Amino acid sequence: MKTLLTTLALFAAVCASTTASAQVSSTETQALSKQLAQLMRNPKKPKQDVHLNLIGCRAEQVIRDRDADVQMTKPLAVSYGGNSGWAVKVDNGVFEMKMNLQWADVTSLTYERSSDSDGQKYFEVKIVKAKKGDNSSFEFPLYTTDEATVKDVVRRLDKVRRSCGGN
């Protein structure tokens, strides 16, 4: 009986340490969010902000343009869903879009080289999510030509995804 209890206690300790090592600390998450904010800023568009906010086991992508070519007689706001939905706000000269996802719904994270119409080179990260009745993806840019940096960011994002039960 003592051997069984000792074995169970040891098994529980191993399981707990494995779970703890898979978790991502808030310090790591904050550092990743800060690096993403720097890399997602398009140097050619100083009045546009693109962020990927990491909030526990979900992420929120925010695109905000304070110099949008938009003229409205009244502000417009539309949204869909909740934790895995989206929202858009449009007003004179302002455009904002938010998209949310649950990391547990994400099935893959990939990146590829890309360039805009002006020839500016960057990497595009693609997040694919799938859950019953909803297979979707969204992309965001990382304005760097350093593939090692992009690879590291994607690896760290995948660590967050896995810590939240992503496939």
Low-confidence ranges of the chain (pLDDT < 50): 1-21
pLDDT of residue 6: 36
pLDDT of residue 93: 85
pLDDT of residue 129: 83
Task: Give the separation between CA 55 and CA 36, rounded to whole angstroms.
Answer: 14
pLDDT of residue 21: 41
Extents of the domains making up the chain: 45-163
> Can you point out the beta strands (E) in the chain?
48-55, 58-65, 76-80, 86-91, 94-102, 106-115, 121-131, 134-142
Task: Give the separation between CA 150 and CA 46, rounded to whole angstroms.
Answer: 22
Question: Over the chain, what is the mean pLDDT?
Answer: 82
127 near 105, Cβ under 8 Å?
no
pLDDT of residue 144: 95
